[in-house]
Amino acid sequence: MASTAPDLESPARIEWRRETAPVPYSQALAAMEARNAGVAAGEAEELAWLLEHPPVYTAGTSADPAELVDPRFEVVEAGRGGRYTYHGPGQRVGYLVLDLNRRGKDVRCFVHAIEGWVIATLARFGVESWRAEGRVGIWTRDIDGSEAKIGAIGVRVRRWVTMHGFSVNLDPDLAHFGGIVPCGIAEYGVTSMARLGRKVSAEEWDEALIATSDDFLDALAAAAKGACR
């Protein structure tokens, strides 16, 4: 019987999966849960999965029913942290099933590294973005000068193997966010790369994200050595 203990001396291989057709949220969630179990058992590779969903509202573990304003789409209990989030066409989602036994058992550093990865990728398209103290997600300056969310982050860690990840608004129907209070933050709006004048295809976004992934993995390697950056 093979040992399930991770070999910390050998580099883990990550499978990169890129979908061109929308994947129903419940189907993706089931696949993530299965891969999480496989990685935890040492029977599957880690996974970075880039995709889009048909319109759906997902509820995190802290979701407040009062923030589901207009449930015009399917509502799915996601099991991740956070509150209500919208996913739909024109929004690129990145799901990460990574073994933090190898990459540093620090969830805060993991989230910090994801934020840095998305910020660096947006910068490749001329979009300046940032973290905001006390507000989860990726923020930028909207066309009216106000601060608005362009990317969302929500993760779950089970047996030190991650699930869920992040989403970035390339060109979704922003009116669809009106059915919820996105991530429980009512005082700030939501924007997209298209609204900011950057028309970026899913393929272009994926290529840029993959091109900046080494820095993301380096940040996780630093976390494994106790240096969150």
Beta bridge mates, 49: 17, 95
CA distances from 178 to 17, 57, 70, 157, 181 (A): 30, 11, 7, 29, 7
Neighbour count for residue 112 (Cβ, 10 Å): 18
Length of the chain: 229
Phi/psi of residue 195, nearest 5 degrees: -60, -30
Nearest to 88 by CA among 167, 3, 1, 142: 167
Collapsing DSSP states into helix, strand and coil, what is residue 174?
Answer: helix
Q: Tell me which residue has tokens 């900011």.
A: 196
Question: How distant is the alpha carbon of residue 69 from its chain centre?
Answer: 23
51, 153, 183, 193: which is the annotated catalytic residue?
A: 183
- HSE-up of residue 136 (Cα within 13 Å, Cβ side): 18
Tokens of residue 224, six digits:
């494994």
Q: Verify whether residue 109 is a known catalytic residue.
A: no
Query: So which residues are the catalytic ones?
Result: 183
